[in-house]
Amino acid sequence: MALRSSHGEREHNHRTRQGASNHGGRAMAEKKNAPKRMTKAQVVAELAETAQIDKKAVNAVLSGLADIVNRELG
């Protein structure tokens, strides 16, 4: 909303509606309700159990995968 100052210049009212901004609002509320993410250790443990291999091997695979992703996606 534009307002006029005492000098006739336009002033803008920068108030935003709740949830209307693109730096918080509704997106922040959704993050609060999101499930907790797994830690790297939890991912390694689950993959090791599922694939029936030791955690050291899973760590090597994940490290190699990260290297490939970094190289290819830069």
Q: Are 1 and 13 in contact (CB under 8 A)?
A: yes
Using DSSP, state whether 24 is helix, strand or coil.
coil
Domain spans of the chain?
Answer: 36-74
- Angle CA(30)–CA(36)–CA(72) in degrees, nearest 5? 90
Query: What is the chain's pLDDT, residue by residue, as a tens digit (74 residues)?
Result: 555 555 565 555 555 455 455 555 565 566 788 899 999 999 999 999 999 999 999 999 999 999 999 999 98
Length of the chain as a residue count: 74
What's the predicted TM-score (pTM) here? 0.53
